[in-house]
Structure 1
């Protein structure tokens, strides 16, 4: 088994038995984390914003995945807080919807500028609370900034066509109106960017937004909302245009069942997304779902290995395998299987694992201890179903939620674990013989999000892009499965 390079642990050791009352143990109270206060954060933070800050629910402490130390706490929303926030948001919408779209775009532009001014410190918070490496944390904030720029352009392009009528002297005018209140539920893995994608476009269309982020990244939700609230306040606009309710499943359920929620956008697991969809559909509501992906890379015998190895590595290991577009299946033509596995395992051995703030670190921790357990369970299931661990497969002996990036070979394409989306850095490598069979294997999983093919055969590329090729929403050629383009379709 090949070794993995580990960076020295640079953060504080693991503490057990933390009490929320023991503020002195919080990272925010320590000098090296004083920068958190630049984002307006404190030891205990209100987790509800509807023009004013508050919250009367339970206090939840969030932890740094790199060392499992408590960062700070957030007072969650109660159901009463939620109802009050919806009321305020609906009132704010009446004002926002009357503002001309280009002027709404100007507000979104200012939000983008405000985020740009805080990009380094907010990116640091993403690394601290979510666990992704610093360059990815900053990149995620930059994505929100870029979406704001994109939305500003859209704000001057909202319009419908004028169509000829069957009636003499008449015309049909198609006019787009805002839906009203848009609920946005986001996941832990992209705690800034996904809200940005949803809110920036919803805002220029004249909608008010109500956000519930993941409970484990509540500080990020609070920090982002503070930045937006300042822009709204400076423009003498109601803060409830962009409301926040930090909370758990009870708040999410309330949003899904609430007839006052005109559109609900949910990003998360397929399992929870199905529950959300059913609750929204039961009231004949509208939903927008971005769920899981069991993404595959297919490599043919004519592929350029100089592209394949780094692409597969990045797609499988980036963000510690916690992207919805992470590559989880790698199909290799049987003639190149052993060669690619050997080269990929060698590349895995060079991945530097360590402190997310170390500029040399390429791979950070999983988000929670529960994620570590899921990783170990998946590795064990893979072994029981006939798989062989080429590299990785174990927990790293250091503070935090670190596991080894893992390659598993020898499984059949239809093994239950292969068809399961495990949010962890496990790559299942599988052999194939013919184009037709591997295209079918790509499509046989229930989660279809992103897919990728590596080949020089132009005819094969067009078959891959065509109706008998990939059934995924994102189809890549000679690039990895991960990533998104501003303004392009995603999902």
Structure 2
């Protein structure tokens, strides 16, 4: 057993079992048994009805799930409510896709008939991070289940509570045992066991780029399918003709949501020189006015970081930024309150080769840097090994579309700080990942094409 610590209070929250490689083996074999049994052969419409029932169960238990998420992760309760609502919507969306994935009848095969159709992959090992536990669980599990696969899920060892409750709700919804299983424990033990198990045919991973590279290497030993959603260092490009007030508000919210513990966080803010000083001053005011406090309070806009160890990691980046010569404009300190809180932090006078500009900090820390013109903005945005998300703020739609095409990223918002839309594919380029989640495109990762030729001459 391991004891979870509540980030907001520093007090024990729950004791959770630590599974081992033997538990992983039994879970995978049970999932394989369910896959080769009734689940694979179930009517697609009935499968959709079961996923719809699970969406209903999530909504019926939304308050409980949101409180679990807030107490386990530390994010504000209003954000947890949104995340739980998104999870329900994702299961409902893919419930509607179960009987809408067709195949092909291919001409030119005379005198025979040539058919191609999609089949489920089998057992899917799904490994999710600690920052958006129930949302990312739904992104990966819902399309996998919709296509007739079985799922063995490993949540982050720090934040397993909503995943465990979701497994209970899945059974209550009528999803058979073995179809959706949750294993808790260390990634180096349980995650590694899933990666190496011969009956696991697909790995869907969200986490750091370094771990994702290891996942890909290990999966290659057994030619497993892999999809990876990894790190980010997203750019926010603020042009002089922007809607100034909206751009400032969005720059704060898109950088500080979930205390910056978001791979899509717009932590590199680039502002056109003519408005740079004014924008930086306004952003400083927005950061300092942000309500940081008890995540269970409705008025709270930013809660604590997930663990004390993670707070120390973020603080080390702040110290490194100061040591390398960047100017600390605001924040950078820990309040006296108990818990893993950290003040929202802004750096200016940062150079492109500094760690605070190049590396994913995963905390409430941003750099604000000036650019001259459109070409300069694109070059600065693309000067990164990551390419997950970003924003452009301008009233010039022609410029917005030119820059959107030029910026190397998988997702981009114009005059918005949003990143995720369940109806559209989401994922990154460069070191931000491989493959896409959400939208109908996600279904491709959980199916295999099979081609059948029928000789009709006899």
For normalisation by structure 1, the TM-score amounts to 0.85
Displacement, 1:283?
2.0
For residue 411 of structure 2, the aligned residue among 460, 471, 474 is 474
Residue number in structure 2 paired with 1:310: 249
Tell me whether 1:483 sits opposite 2:406 in the alignment.
Answer: no
Displacement, 1:384?
1.7
Contact kept in structure 1, 2:76 and 2:295, CA below 8 Å: yes
Tell me whether 1:177 sits opposite 2:119 in the alignment.
Answer: yes
Residue number in structure 1 paired with 2:55: 112
Residue number in structure 1 paired with 2:19: 77
The 5 Å alignment of 1:157-168 reads: 157-165=100-108, 167-168=109-110
Inter-partner Cα distance in structure 2 for 1:69 and 1:241: 35
Residue number in structure 1 paired with 2:10: 68
Residue number in structure 2 paired with 1:138: 81
Inter-partner Cα distance in structure 1 for 2:302 and 2:310: 15
Of 84-93 and 156-165, deviating more is: 156-165
Tell me whether 1:240 sits opposite 2:158 in the alignment.
Answer: no
What per-residue deviation string (whole Å, max 9, x for no partner) do you get for residues 295-327 of structure 1?
010111111102211110100111100111111
Residue number in structure 1 paired with 2:128: 186
What per-residue deviation string (whole Å, max 9, x for no partner) do you get for residues 168-206 of structure 1?
354432201000001110000011011111111111100
Of 409-418 and 139-148, deviating more is: 409-418
SS in 2 for 1:417: helix
Displacement, 1:96?
0.6
Inter-partner Cα distance in structure 1 for 2:355 and 2:286: 27
Inter-partner Cα distance in structure 1 for 2:356 and 2:74: 26
Residue number in structure 2 paired with 1:256: 195
The 5 Å alignment of 1:20-419 reads: 59-94=1-36, 95-165=38-108, 167-232=109-174, 238-248=176-186, 249-419=188-358
Of 214-223 and 259-268, deviating more is: 214-223
For normalisation by structure 2, the TM-score amounts to 0.91
Gaps spanning 5+ residues in structure 2: where?
428-458
Residue number in structure 1 paired with 2:435: none
Inter-partner Cα distance in structure 1 for 2:242 and 2:353: 24
Contact kept in structure 2, 1:62 and 1:219, CA below 8 Å: no
Contact kept in structure 1, 2:356 and 2:367, CA below 8 Å: no
Contact kept in structure 1, 2:292 and 2:303, CA below 8 Å: yes
Contact kept in structure 2, 1:413 and 1:430, CA below 8 Å: no
Inter-partner Cα distance in structure 2 for 1:282 and 1:470: 34
Inter-partner Cα distance in structure 2 for 1:445 and 1:257: 32
Of 386-395 and 217-226, deviating more is: 217-226
What per-residue deviation string (whole Å, max 9, x for no partner) do you get for residues 417-449 of structure 1?
310000100011011112112212211211110
Gaps spanning 5+ residues in structure 1: where?
1-58
SS in 2 for 1:72: strand
Of 413-422 and 425-434, deviating more is: 413-422
Inter-partner Cα distance in structure 2 for 1:183 and 1:91: 15
Contact kept in structure 1, 2:75 and 2:258, CA below 8 Å: yes
What per-residue deviation string (whole Å, max 9, x for no partner) do you get for residues 438-484 of structure 1?
21221121111001111122221221132xx111000111111x431
Inter-partner Cα distance in structure 1 for 2:14 and 2:238: 46
Inter-partner Cα distance in structure 1 for 2:409 and 2:164: 34
What per-residue deviation string (whole Å, max 9, x for no partner) do you get for residues 367-412 of structure 1?
0001111111111111122211111011111100000000100012
Inter-partner Cα distance in structure 2 for 1:416 and 1:198: 32
Inter-partner Cα distance in structure 1 for 2:351 and 2:340: 30
Residue number in structure 2 paired with 1:34: none
Inter-partner Cα distance in structure 2 for 1:360 and 1:399: 19
Inter-partner Cα distance in structure 1 for 2:365 and 2:257: 11
Displacement, 1:259?
2.0
Contact kept in structure 1, 2:325 and 2:349, CA below 8 Å: yes
What per-residue deviation string (whole Å, max 9, x for no partner) do you get for residues 137-171 of structure 1?
11111111000111121112111232312x33544
